[in-house]
């Protein structure tokens, strides 16, 4: 498998994956190309609660302040279930509600993420799927898919950047 990431002049990321599978005398070649658009969501937040759900399983709550499309101020409240997979790896599944700062619009999203240590820091990478009935500023989020990376510190503060999946 070959993977190539290319940063385009607009700041988008283009990914091309070449898959070659050989079964006996038959060789199958498939090329999959996908691009990530610009960062559409940036947020800073804090883990606000943790509740054990059993062995290696935790429910985590969080809140944040952020910006959508460089000019829409939003707040987010969410929670997720984190399952330890050993070797400093976690599987995370959750949901959240985003609201404009004035509270007039909202959107929901669900997400899946893998957590791991990167240079000693917890990092989460994953995908979000958005849903909204908004017809205003947040209308662009309806059926949006995002790819994100969250960096967490030891005090429970985090920074998230999310790119549109095109």
Query: Two tokens at 8?
Result: 């385009």
Provide, rounded to the nearest whole percent, the portion of the chain with pLDDT above 90. 71
Q: For the whole prediction, is pTM greater than 0.75? A: yes
* CATH code of the domain containing 75: 2.40.160.20
What is residue 16's predicted lDDT score, i.e. its pLDDT?
A: 53
Same structural domain, 157 and 104 = yes
Same structural domain, 44 and 19 = no
The whole domain housing 117 covers 38-165
141, burial (CB in 10 Å: exposed 0-12, middle 13-18, buried 19+): buried
Q: Tens of pLDDT along 22-65?
A: 666 665 555 555 678 889 999 999 999 999 999 999 999 999 99
Same structural domain, 151 and 73 = yes
Could you give the number of structural domains in the chain? 2
């Amino acid at each position: 498998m070959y993977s190539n990431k290319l940063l385009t002049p607009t700041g988008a990321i283009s990914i091309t994956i070449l898959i070659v599978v050989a079964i006996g005398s038959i060789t199958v070649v498939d090329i999959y190309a996908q691009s990530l658009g610009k960062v559409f969501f940036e947020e800073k937040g804090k883990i606000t609660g943790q509740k054990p759900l059993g062995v290696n399983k935790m429910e985590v709550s969080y809140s944040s302040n952020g910006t959508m499309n460089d000019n829409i101020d939003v707040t987010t409240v969410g929670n997720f279930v984190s399952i330890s997979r050993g070797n400093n790896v976690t599987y995370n599944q959750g949901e959240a509600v985003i609201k404009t700062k004035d509270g007039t619009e909202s959107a929901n999203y669900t997400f899946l993420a893998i957590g791991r240590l990167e240079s000693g820091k917890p990092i989460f990478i994953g995908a979000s799927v958005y849903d909204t009935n908004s017809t205003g500023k947040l209308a662009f989020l309806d059926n949006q898919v995002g790819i994100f990376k969250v960096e967490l510190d030891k005090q429970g503060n985090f920074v998230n950047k999310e790119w549109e999946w095109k």
